[in-house]
Amino acid sequence: MRKIDYLIIGQGLAGSAIAWTLLRRGKSVMVIDEPSHNLASAVAAGMINPITGRIMTKTWLADDIFPFLHSFYSGAESATKSKFFHPTSLYRPFLSSEENHQWQRKIKSEEVTRFIRALHTFPAYEDQVLNPWGGIEIEHAGFINVVQWMKILRDELIRNDSYRNERYDDDNLVANESITYQDLSAHKIIFCNGTSVLDTKWFHWVPLKPLKGETLLIKTGLSRDRIFSRGVFVVPTDEEGIFTAGSTYVHPPFTDGPTQTGQEDISRKLKALIRPSFDIIHQGWGIRPTTPDRRPILGAHPANKKVLIFNGLGTKGVSLAPYFAHQLADWLEGNGDLMTEVNINRFKPLYSE
Ligand SMILES: Cc1cc2nc3c(=O)[nH]c(=O)nc-3n(C[C@H](O)[C@H](O)[C@H](O)COP(=O)(O)OP(=O)(O)OC[C@H]3O[C@@H](n4cnc5c(N)ncnc54)[C@H](O)[C@@H]3O)c2cc1C
């Protein structure tokens, strides 16, 4: 029997962040992942944005999460001698002159100043974007190449014989006082398998809400200097002239795969946002693991403290994963508690043996 500290199921953004965090703390892990089954991270545009929503407010925990993700991803880049993290500003055109005036007042509030690079009261970047009332340039934004980050970590895990490309099967898991899975004996198991966790006998009861999203990969003459976002986002990729645009938000019931409606919806919003013409070169789709209260789910199974979950990253996996992987790892080491808002205990009433 091979002994390890943690068995991790799934290597999307959640599994990658916790695997990397535990490895950096000197723990041994084994990641079991079936990349072909990845439902969210592989399609994510990788965008990082601290000011979101129609009325543009600072996102939850932004003051902590955004500095943290910066050091997490740039630290991972240095340690692996790679490049996948691209801090850049994000320009969001105003929807009306009224919004322009509101922001001239709002910009003075301490709440948001650190996240605002510039307020444009007149149209800016006019060869790039339609913004008759100006817009706001957001700081601490950016994007990561998610597929690249997952690949870099996977290669690292493979080098350490800590990765198995296979499907996790509940029938092979024995979880009592200790965890055994095939030839492995682990201290604990952490389920990071996105919406597939609903197929397990351990966490089928958590109120994860699948939310389908589609994206378009487009070829356009847009500048790579910043992300544009209003109703739809346009994020550069590592390839010159190629951008990811998206996305849609579709609740169940939905059909798997890309749709004509998704393509038309994104294209229409893009035409109202960017000036250069674009060609669609690919259409992607995925399923986000969201929760009713829009907070992640972390912690131990009510009946077995050795069986854990790290899930519910919703629409913001890139920004939430590093911070909460760190919090989970601290808690596993007996340092501090999980925040009440993310602790799986909030859903305990839904569990019955
Ligand atoms: C269209 C779209 C665009 C998005 N854009 C952004 C964005 O720009 N910025 C952002 O922050 N977030 C974005 N998101 C959200 C983000 O993708 C999610 O928050 C995040 O990917 C969730 O990660 P996860 O690791 O929990 O789940 P997943 O990415 O689903 O990963 C789960 C992993 O578990 C594996 N797995 C599942 N079952 C098994 C099994 N039985 N055996 C072995 N392995 C298994 C899967 O293969 C996968 O690798 C987007 C999502 C979508 C759908």
Give dist(CA 220, CA 318) in Å, integer.
Answer: 25
Of all atoms in ligand 1, which is nearest to the CA of residue 317? Answer: 19
> Which amino acid is it at 276?
P
Pocket test for ligand 1, best of 20, 30, 34 (most atoms within 8 A of CB): 34
* C-alpha–C-alpha distance, residues 37 and 10, integer Å: 9
Type of residue found at 283: Q
Residue nearest to atom 5 of ligand 1 (CA): 44
Read off the pTM.
Answer: 0.97
Is residue 42 helix, strand or coil?
helix
In short, whether 318's Cβ falls inside 6 Å of ligand 1 is yes
Ligand 1 binding pocket includes 266 (Cβ within 6 Å): no
Sheet holding 135-138, edge to edge: 116-120, 135-138, 89-93, 226-229, 233-236, 242-246, 209-220, 278-290
Q: Is the CB of 193 under 6 A from ligand 1?
A: yes
Per-residue model confidence (pLDDT) at position 310: 98
Query: Which protein residue's CA is at the shortest distance from atom 21 of ligand 1?
Result: 41
Query: What pLDDT sits at residue 39?
Result: 80
**pLDDT 10s digit of each residue in the chain, 353 long?**
999 999 999 999 999 999 999 999 999 999 999 988 778 999 999 999 999 987 888 999 999 999 999 999 999 999 999 999 999 999 999 999 999 999 998 888 778 888 999 999 999 999 999 999 999 999 999 999 999 999 999 999 999 999 999 999 999 999 998 999 999 999 999 999 999 999 999 999 999 999 999 999 999 999 999 999 999 999 999 999 999 999 999 999 999 999 999 999 999 999 999 999 999 999 999 999 999 999 999 999 999 999 999 999 999 999 999 999 999 999 999 999 999 999 999 999 999 97
**Which residue among 196, 250, 259, 290 has the greatest number of ligand 1 atoms within 8 angstroms of its CB, and so is best to mutate?**
196
CB of 38 shorter than 6 A to ligand 1:
yes
Q: What is the pLDDT of residue 345?
A: 98
Return the pLDDT at 35. Answer: 84
Beta strands in 22-156 (DSSP E): 29-33, 47-48, 51-52, 57-58, 85-87, 89-93, 116-120, 135-138, 142-144
Q: Which amino acid is at 161?
A: D
Q: Which helix (H) or strand (E) holds 175?
A: strand 173-175
Which domains occur in the chain, in start order? 2-44+147-208+293-350 (3.50.50.60), 89-140 (no CATH), 209-290 (3.30.9.10)
Q: Is 41 in the pocket of ligand 1 (CB under 6 A)?
A: yes
Say if residues 119 and 107 touch (Cβ distance below 8 Å): yes
Q: Are 218 and 321 in contact (CB under 8 A)?
A: no
Strands of 59-160 (E only): list them. 85-87, 89-93, 116-120, 135-138, 142-144
Question: Sign of the CA dihedral 26, 321, 346, 337?
Answer: positive
Report how far ligand 1's centroid is from the alpha carbon of 286 (Å): 8
Ligand 1 centroid, distance to 347 Cα (angstroms) = 22
Measured from the CB, is residue 322 less than 6 Å from ligand 1? no
pLDDT tens track for 57-87: 899 999 999 999 999 999 999 999 999 999 9
Q: How far is the CA of 315 from the centre of ligand 1 (A)?
A: 10
Interatomic CA distance for residues 206 and 192, integer angstroms: 13
DSSP string, 254-315: --SS--HHHHHHHHHHHHTTBSS-EEEEEEEEEEEEE-TTS--EEEEETTEEEEEEEE--TT
- Residue 246 β-bridge partners: 215, 233
> Does ligand 1 have an atom closer than 6 angstroms to the CB of 215?
yes
Query: CA 17 to CA 71: how far, in whole Å?
Result: 13
For residue 353, what pLDDT is reported?
79
